[in-house]
Structure 1
Amino acid sequence: MSSESEQDKERLVQAAKMFFFHIKDLTSFTNTLTELFNHNMNTQILSMAVKENTNIKDFFEQMLRIFKEMQSVVNEKYNKMQKESLCSKFATAMCSMVEKSTNVKELQESAKEVFKSVHTPVIVSVLHNGNILGSLESSLSLLMQFPIMNLQLSDFYREDNKEQSEVTTSEKNTSPGPSKTTMVDILKKLQDALKAKTANNPTESAADLLEKIVKDMGPILEILQKAIKSIETDISMFKKVNDK
């Protein structure tokens, strides 16, 4: 077995592990956003329920369902705000102020009177003005075009098997332990799902594609993190101003 082949296997294993934990993070962030949304918008959007036997297509479809439901509520609320000129001007002004201001105290003082007279859902401004939900939907739709949709989360990594990567870096352990069996099974499923018809090295090709998928998931995680932080910050500021 060539050194290059071992390196390609290790790349594929590491990309699969990263994919697994990206899915875990996406689940956590999406559920946090859903909880914030439900609490502040009086909705009852269902959170994600993801297990290791969850199909990847089902996972992404759950995320899309959540973002589409949120988008529908945001559009309805925003359109209602547009009909009320004061609310509309307030939402636009506040979004701009939050982006530009570095002085929270100054921002609170300048917005104090407006906050007292207009109870605009801050979360609508945050999600609508940056087209956050639309961006998330587009990114997920692109990810769903990759040939991994029929795999399960456990086909990428299994948290109860901490020694599985050893099989790709050493041939010394010849005992037919569970970690070796598990790793061989994972590698085969990934290679079959990600193989290119014209690839001379199927493992290298699979590693390249899975690394690209993992890289493409990065911006989705960033958008979710920024959205959650913005919503939490703006709502906190809203409450502080109204409590004064």
Structure 2
Amino acid sequence: MSSESEKDKERLIQAAKLFFFHIRDLVSFINRFVELFNLTMKTQILPMNLNEESCIKDFFEQMIRNFKEMQLMVDGKHKQMQKEPLCSKVLTAVTPAVEKCATIAPHHTAEDMLKNIQTSGAALVLKTSHVLENLETSLSLLMQFPIMGLRLSDLYREETKEQSDVTSDATTSEKSTSPEHPKATTEETLRKLQDVLSPENAHTPVDTAADELEQFVKSMEITLQVLQKSIKTMEGDISVLTQVQGK
């Protein structure tokens, strides 16, 4: 076996392992995004469960369904905002304007109005930023990769669960890919990856499969970055509104 072939095998195994942890991060980030969305939009979208024995396609389909559902809610709230000019104006005002709004409409308390403004503000930001549409499009493009037919456990299998708890910490991948974690069954993983990622007439099937999977991982990293930025923005908005409500 040539050293070049061994190098390609190692590339493919490392790409598969990185993909495995990217999926865990993706589910974790999406669940944090859903948590913040529920908080700001007053909804009850359920978080995702990570089942490593399920088909990878199932994860992506569920994520896309979640974003479609969120988009419908945002569109509905945005349309409602168009019919409420008073609250639309208050969106750009500070706390005293909320008190005035409550005075004009005495059957609403200032707290009620502030909650309504919080929800409307979140809907406006999500609508104008197109973040939900971008995430849905990104996941839909990833769905076109042939690797979708595999299970997550086909790529990497942990023998220890010391760090199996998925968190929203951005360092999850760095921690999980430490040397302490055992490797998957190498030959079995290589065979499955070559079967789905390399065409039958490929001159260097391992090299071709490694290139394909590395490209997929890079595309996933872009989606993770968009999610992280969106989460930070939503966390910042919630922090500001919380401070306002506490005054």
Q: Structure 1-normalised TM-score?
A: 0.81
RMSD of the alignment, in Å? 1.8
Map of 2:17 onto structure 1:
17
Once the two structures are TM-superposed, the CA of residue 34 in structure 1 deviates from its matched residue by 1.2
Match of residue 53 from structure 2: 53
Deviation at 1:36, TM superposition (A): 1.7
Runs of 4+ in 1 over 4 A off after TM superposition: none
Describe how 1:70-149 pairs up with structure 2 within 5 A. 70-91=70-91, 93=92, 111-116=94-99, 117=101, 118-119=113-114, 120=117, 121=119, 122-149=121-148
Displacement of 1:87 after TM fit?
Answer: 3.2
Structure 1 contact 22–217 (Cα < 8 Å) conserved: yes
Q: Is 1:201 aligned to 2:184, yes or no?
A: no
- TM normalised by structure 2 equals 0.80
Structure 1 counterpart SS, 2:96: helix
The answer for unaligned runs of 5 or more in structure 1 is 94-109, 165-178
Letter in 1 for 2:126: L
Alignment length, in residue pairs? 211
Superimposed CA distance per residue, residues 188-227 of structure 1 (whole angstroms, 9 cap, x where no aligned partner): 0011010124421000000000000000011211111111
Once the two structures are superposed, what CA deviation does each residue of 1:76-128 show, in whole Å capped at 9, x if it has no partner?
0111112222433454x5xxxxxxxxxxxxxxxx7233454453213213321
1:211 aligned to 211, 214, 217, which one? 214
Q: Which runs of 5+ in 2 are unaligned?
A: 102-112, 161-180
| Amino acid in the other structure paired with 2:95 | K
Kept in 2: contact 1:8–1:204 (CA 8 A): yes
- Provide Cα deviations, 1:144-191, integer angstroms capped at 9, x if missing partner: 001011100011111227443xxxxxxxxxxxxxx6xx2111110011
Shift of 1:47: 1.1
Match of 1:153 in 2: 152
Of residues 191-200 and 142-151 in structure 1, the stretch that sits farther from structure 2 once superposed is: 191-200
Q: Return the alpha-carbon distance in structure 1 between the equivalents of residues 217 and 98 of structure 2.
A: 42
- The answer to whether structure 1 residue 235 and structure 2 residue 218 are counterparts is no
